[in-house]
Chains A and B, each alone.
Chain A
Amino acid sequence: MLTLSGIHTFYGPIEALRGVDIQVARGEIVTLIGANGAGKSTLLMTICGRPRATRGQILFDGEDITRDETFLIVRRGIAQAPEGRRIFARLTVFENLQIGATVGQPQHFDEDIEKVFILFPILRQRRNQRGGTLSGGEQQMLSIGRALMSRPRLLLLDEPSLGLAPIVAKQIFAAIAEINRTQGLTVLLVEQNAFHALRLAHRGYVLQTGRIVLSGTGAELLANPEVRSAYLEGGVHA
Chain B
Amino acid sequence: MTEAAVPTRIASAMKEAGLAAFVALVLAMPMVGLYTVDEGGVLVVRTRFDWVLIGVLVVFAGRLAMAYWPATLRIPARRDAAHVAADGHFNILKFLGIAAISLAVLLPVLPVTDRYVIDVATTVLIYVMLGWGLNIVVGLAGLLDLGYVAFYAVGAYSFALLARNFGLNFWECLPLAGALAALCGILLGFPVLRLRGDYLAIVTLGFGEMIRIVLINWQSFTGGPNGLTSIPRPSFFGLPFTRNPEEGETAFHQFFGLEFAPYHRLAFLYYLILALALVTNAFTMRIRRLPIGRAWEALREDEIACRALGINPTNTKLTAFAIGAMFGGFAGSFFAARQGFISPESFTFIESAMILAVVVLGGMGSQIGVVLAATLLVVLPELGREFAEFRMVLFGAAMIAIMIWRPHGLLARRDPSIVLPPARRGAA
Tell me the A residues contacting B by CB distance below 8 Å.
48, 50, 69-71, 74-75, 79-80, 82, 86-92, 94-95, 98-100, 102-103, 117-118, 121, 124-125, 127-130, 132-133, 146-147, 150
Contact = CB atoms under 8 A, between A and B. Distances in A.
B80 A91 contact: no
A100 B311 CA distance: 9
A90 B419 CA distance: 14
Contact of B297 (A91, A117, A132, A150): A91
B107 to A, nearest CB: 35
Contacts of A117: 428
B293 to A, nearest CB: 10
A82 B291 contact: no
Contacts of A103: 309-310
B272 interface: no
* Interface residue SS majority, chain B: loop
B110 interface: no
Given A82-B304, A128-B420, A146 B82 contact: no
Interface residues of B, number: 35
B305 interface: yes
A87 B305 CA distance: 7
Interface of B: 80-85, 291, 294-295, 297-298, 301-302, 304-313, 414, 416-420, 422-423, 425-428
Contact of B420 (A71, A94, A99): A94
A97 to B, nearest CB: 11
A70 B303 CA distance: 12
Nearest to B416: A92
B308 A128 contact: no
Contact of A99 (B298, B304, B426): B298
Contacts of A80: 308
Contacts of A74: 307-310
B83 A71 contact: no
A4 B310 CA distance: 21
Contacts of B309: 74, 79, 99-100, 102-103, 146-147, 150
Nearest to A100: B309
A99 B299 CA distance: 10
Contact of B83 (A94, A129, A150): A129
The residue in A89, A98, A128, A150 that gathers the most chain B C-beta atoms within 10 A of its C-beta is A128
A95 B304 contact: no
Given A125-B425, A129-B84, A91 B301 contact: yes
A91 B82 CA distance: 11
B295 A128 contact: no
The residue in A71, A80, A125 that gathers the most chain B C-beta atoms within 10 A of its C-beta is A71
A92 B313 contact: no
Contacts of B304: 82, 86
Given A70-B308, A146-B309, A128 B419 contact: yes
Contact of B414 (A71, A90, A94): A90
Contacts of A48: 307-308
B80 A50 contact: no
